[in-house]
Amino acid sequence: MADTPVEYIQHHLSNLTFGKHPEMGWMLAEKSSQAAEMGFWAIHVDTLLWSVLMGVLFLFVFKKAANKATAGVPGGLQNFVEMCVEFVEGMVKETFHGKNPVIAPLALTIFVWIFLMNSLKWLPVDWIPELAMATGLVNYFKIVPTTDPNATFGLSLGVFFLIIFYSIKVKGGLGFIKELSFTPFNHWIFIPFNLFLEILGLLTKPISLALRLFGNMYAGEVVFILIALTFGAGWIMGLLGLGMQWIWAVFHLLVIPLQAFIFMVLTIVYLSAAHEDH
């Protein structure tokens, strides 16, 4: 474990990384410096693991609700799932102006999956990392995937590829190029300027999606870690930290679903624009 507050913070913000070290070959990084030396293609094992687990949990819960669905008096799980589906369906109807049966299931998946990944933030920052390190197999173990830019950029790039795909599918390749070339100024002399603006705007969509989610989740995680430091500073500071921990956790009752909602809504808006032929 870390000996100083700075080391404690750095430790809790470091991922379990697997990759090819230039000197030691394929390995799990034992130090943050080793992880940095592994380069771009290193894998954050903890981020990947918890992302998959939350995805499996989403599929399990919704599949279970579907199997037990009844036309009679619904149970609590069925009510919850139906509320989620109706909520997302209503957002798609209000926001998406094209016709595509994929958008609603995609929006539901994005909302619930990101919400589940964000909700791991409610677990105390020391519990699972210390349990993982107690096995003697790992030195680092983060559990909130959305505090890792690799996860948020992975999600946003998936949305970006769908934007490009549907833009070309709906408008055609030439239609998409024409839209980029003649928007916002419909004259050939402005084509270079239009292309610069439109391509820049297109590229900022995945960047803004990823950074907005990552920034909010990462900042919240840092605050939780700082509050956790108070538990080792005497009983007075420990009581103060306990109060702050509770207040910050309650505040995240709003932040966690809000960030999932924003990512979902922006995805729907971007895909709606991709289906519109200007």
Q: For 8-63, how does the pLDDT look when each residue is reduced to its tens digit (9 = 90+)?
A: 888 888 999 999 999 889 999 988 889 889 988 899 999 999 999 999 999 999 99
Structure confidence by residue, pLDDT tens digits, 121-153: 988 888 888 888 888 888 889 999 999 999 999
Contact 28, 7 (CB under 8 A): no
Mean of per-residue pLDDT scores for the chain? 89
How far is 127 from 249, CA to CA, in rounded Å?
15
Report the run of H or E that residue 198 belongs to, with start and end.
Answer: helix 191-229
Task: Give 166: exposed, middle or buried? Use CB within 10 Å, 0-12, 13-18, 19+.
Answer: buried
Contact 215, 223 (CB under 8 A): no
100 is catalytic: no
- Phi then psi dihedrals of residue 183, to 5 deg: -125, 130
Strands of the sheet containing 25-28, edge to edge, are: 25-28, 17-21, 43-44
pLDDT higher than threshold 80 for residue 242 = no
Q: Which residue is catalytic, options 150, 181, 212, 272? A: 212
How far is 61 from 117, CA to CA, in rounded Å?
15
- Looking at residue 278, its pLDDT comes to 60
How far is 145 from 54, CA to CA, in rounded Å?
10
At 189, which amino acid appears?
Answer: I
The CA–CA distances, whole Å, from 263 to 11, 14, 105, 117, 206 equal 29, 25, 14, 13, 10
Report the run of H or E that residue 269 belongs to, with start and end.
Answer: helix 235-275
216 is catalytic: yes
At 202, which amino acid appears?
Answer: L
Which of 218, 207, 213 is closest to 258 using CA atoms?
A: 213
Q: Which residue is catalytic, options 14, 118, 167, 216? A: 216
Structure confidence by residue, pLDDT tens digits, 70-95: 777 777 888 889 999 999 999 999 99
181 is catalytic: no
